[in-house]
Amino acid sequence: MASAGVVNIRRDVDDKFYRYRMPVLTTKIEGKGNGIKTVLPNMSDVARALSRPPTYPTKFFGCELGAQTSFDEKNDRYIVNGAHDATKLRELLDVFIEKFVLCKACKNPETDLIITKTEEIIRDCKACGERTGVDMRHKLTTFIVKNPPKNPKKSKSKKGSGDSPTPNGTHATAPENGDVEDDVGAESDDELTKRIKADAAKLNDESAIAKEDWSQDTSPEAVKARLKAVEASMASVALAVGGDDDSEEDADSPYAQLGHWIEENRDAGAVEIYKKADEFGIAKKHNSLTVIAQTLFTENVVAEIEKYAPLFVKMVTSEKHQKSLLGGIERLVGIEHPDLIPVVPKILMAFYQVDVLDEEVVKQWGTHVSKKYVDRDTSKKVRKASEPFLKWLDEADDSDEDDE
C-alpha cells in the first residue's frame, strides 16, 4: 500500500489514507565474529515519526533479543550487538509501538509519555484524551524512568526555525511532538467545523459547470470571470451543519470511501465529485482536499487542475483548506508519483492562477518542513522543489513595489 520506504505506523491498518506514517526501519550489519553488530541507520527518523527518543526502540530491541545496545546520539548512531534480521526487528518495532506508543483506548499513536511521581509511565493521548499505563513489568520501563522523555511543550517552544506545535492526527487532531509545521491547518477534533448532516441540494446548472472550458483565454481577467460564474452556479448547494466527522484513519471513514470512489470514477467530473463528498458529509471538511488531491490527479496533474478548477474553487474556503490541499499535493508527488516532484512549481502556479492558493499560505508551506502528511525527508524534497515558484512570488512582489 505504501510507497517504498514508508509504511503506516499501525501496519495492521491496510489503508493508504491512514494519516500516521513512518519510514521503514533499515538495518546494516557491520563487523564479524564476536564483533558483529546491527546498525540502525534511520532509527532517528523512525523514532521521530513515533514521537519517541530513538534510544527507546533501540533499547527495546536489546531487551527483547537479549543483546547489548549502544547509542551515539551526537553522531546519530544506534546499534544492537549481534546480527539481526531486518524483518525481525520490524516485527519487534510493531510490538514496541503497541506497548509504548499506541493509546490503549483508541489505538492512536498520538501520545506523550508521562512519568508520575511514583515512577509509573503513562501514555497521554492527545486524540481521545485518555491516559493509559504501560506494562511496568517490561525491562524497558526501567530505562525510560532513568532517561525520561523531554517535556514536549518545552521542546516545541524552543523551536525557532519555523517548526512550532501543530496538531497531527486523524484528519485534524492533537500536536505531534516536534518536527511539525507551523499551524498546518489541523486542529483537534473538538475544533473542527460542525458536521454536515443534510444532503446537498441538487446543483443548479450542472451542465454549464461541466462544460466550462478552462483552456480558453487564460488572462487574469478571463480566469476571474469564469471562476465567478462557477461560484454562482455552485452556490445553490444548501447545507445544514452538525457535529464532528469520522476519523480518517478508519478504513470505513468517509474520507477513505471518498478516496476509493474517486480512484474508480476519476472521470466523473467536478460536479459528481463534489456531490459524492457531500453525500459522505465531508464536502466542507478541509481534510477532504487532502484525499481529493492525492487520488484525483495523475501524471497530467497540471492540465487536470484546469479541468477541475471549479471543484477546488468551491471547496477551498479557508487557509486551513489550502493547507490540507497542499498536504494532498505532498502525498501525490511524494508518495503516489515521485517523478512529479520537479513539476511542483507548475502545480502551485496552476492553483495560484485560479485563485485557489494564497501567496502567504504557499510561502509558509514552502519554507517549513513537516511530517504531517509524509515523512520528513519526502516533505523536504517536495517543499524544496517549490523554490522556483516562491522565488517568482518574491520577484512579483518586488516588481509591484517598484511600480508603486
Q: Where are the alpha helices (DSSP H) in 147-182?
A: 152-157
pLDDT at site 217: 52
**Pair 132, 213 in one domain:** no
146: number of Cβ within 10 Å: 8
**14 falls in which pLDDT band (50, 70, 90)?**
confident
| Within a domain: 28 | yes
Domain boundary among 116, 132, 149: 149
Q: What CATH code is carried by the domain that includes residue 248?
A: 1.25.40.180
Please state, rounded to an integer, the average pLDDT across all residues of the chain: 77
Is pLDDT of 403 > 70? no
In a domain, 290, yes or no: yes
Q: Do 126 and 209 share a domain, yes or no?
A: no
Domain of residue 57, residue span: 6-149
Chain Cα centroid distance, residue 288: 13
23 and 93 part of one domain = yes
130 in any annotated domain: yes
Is there a domain that residue 174 lies in? Answer: no
Contact 315, 283 (CB under 8 A): yes
Same-domain pairing of 215 and 307 = yes
Q: How confident is the model at residue 192 (pLDDT cuts 50, 70, 90)?
A: very low
Instruction: Kindly tell me if the per-residue pLDDT of 6 is higher than 60.
Output: yes
pLDDT band at 250 (very low <50, low <70, confident <90, very high): low
Q: 206 and 119, same structural domain?
A: no
Q: What is the structure's pLDDT at 95?
A: 95
Q: Would residue 116 count as lying in a domain? A: yes
- Compute the distance between CA of residue 260 and CA of residue 373 in angstroms, rounded to an integer: 18
| Residue 212 burial (CB count, 10 A) | 19
Q: Assess contact for 383 and 368: CB atoms under 8 A.
A: yes
Q: Model-level pTM?
A: 0.45
Please check whether residues 140 and 197 belong to one and the same domain.
no
Share of the chain above pLDDT 70, in %: 72
User: Average of pLDDT values for 196-224?
Assistant: 44
Picking from 309, 400, 399, the residue whose alpha carbon sits closest to that of residue 357 is 309
pLDDT of residue 251: 58
Q: Judge if 118 and 211 occupy the same domain.
A: no
Whether residue 131 is found in the same domain as residue 217:
no
Domain annotation covers residue 242:
yes
Confidence of residue 253 (pLDDT cuts 50, 70, 90): confident
Q: With respect to residue 1, please indicate whether it lies within any of the assigned structural domains.
A: no
Tell me whether residue 85 is in a domain: yes
- 200 and 141 in one domain? no
- Report which DSSP code applies to 34: G
pLDDT in tens, 82-117: 999 999 999 999 999 999 999 999 999 999 999 998
| 103 and 239 belong to one structural domain | no
Mean pLDDT of 268-274: 88
Check residue 127 and give its pLDDT: 86
**Percent of the chain residues past pLDDT 90, beyond the cut:** 45
Domain count, the chain: 2
For residue 47, the domain's CATH number is: 3.30.30.170
| Domain final residue pick, 149, 164, 184 | 149
Q: Which of 98, 115, 149 is the last residue of a domain?
A: 149
Are 15 and 132 within one domain? Answer: yes
pLDDT digits (tens, 9 = 90+) for 291-327: 999 999 998 999 899 889 889 999 999 999 999 999 9
Question: Do 373 and 319 belong to one domain?
Answer: yes
What the block records as the C-alpha cell of 107 is: 489505538
